[in-house]
Amino acid sequence: MTKIIMFLLAVLVFAFSGSISAQTIGEDNQVIQLKSETTALQYSLYGTLFPVGISLASKSGYELAIAGVLVGPSLGYFYGGKADRGMKGILIRTGTVALTWVIGGIAAQSAGGGFSGLEAAIKVCAVGAGVVLIEAIYDIATVKSTVRKHNEELRQKNQTSVTLLPKYFADSGAGGLELRITF
């Protein structure tokens, strides 16, 4: 249990420091701090696989593996400045696990307990674990495109443009030029 708490605290510190720096815009020179899509993918992938691998290799328990699957896929979103998307993924996976436990318990009781109850609970948990795995894979697979879109939004948000167009002014009945400045 202490491994999970330490892992989650490290993720929270990383998440908040990553999201702040990902959206920082220098006040002096207006330089946009864009984040690497590949690095975001690596954070999500390795943040999931390392805890699972360490847990399997050490044979000391499954807690670290669960934390890796629940939190790991979201690390790239935190790095890329999309902490809201990262938290959404964590909450969805955690909710799926909680719902699986509840449904598994109900299935065990409905089956009358004993071996048949255990069998029903195991089946429900296997399906729930598969759903969580699919959710984790989806988050890892979409992190690059999410960071790419976020980077493009930052670029567009910080672009200044000047447009000079011919225009007819109906109120005065005269033609002229219209100057548009966006920033």
What 111-118 contacts at long range (C-beta under 8 Å, 24+ apart), as own/partner pairs, is: none
Please state, rounded to an integer, the average pLDDT across all residues of the chain.
Answer: 83
User: What pLDDT score was predicted for residue 99?
Assistant: 97
Domain residue limits at 124:
2-182
Closest listed residue to residue 93, CA positions, set 140, 129, 142, 52:
129
pTM attached to this predicted model: 0.71
Q: How far apart are CA 42 and CA 24, in angstroms?
A: 22
- CA pair distance 149, 117, nearest whole angstrom: 47
Determine phi and psi for 41, rounding to 5 degrees: -60, -45
Let me know: does 73 contact 88? Beta carbons within 8 Å. Answer: no
pLDDT (tens digit per residue) in 157-181 = 776 667 777 888 888 888 887 877 7
Tally of domains in the chain: 1
In this predicted model, what pLDDT tens digit does every residue of 39-58 receive, in sequence order?
Answer: 999 999 999 999 999 988 88
Q: Give the least confident one: 24-33, 103-112, 138-147.
A: 24-33
Cα separations (Å) of 96 from 92, 105, 130, 131, 133? Answer: 6, 14, 10, 8, 10
Averaged over 132-155, what is the pLDDT? 95
The whole-angstrom separation of Cα 21 and Cα 25 is: 9
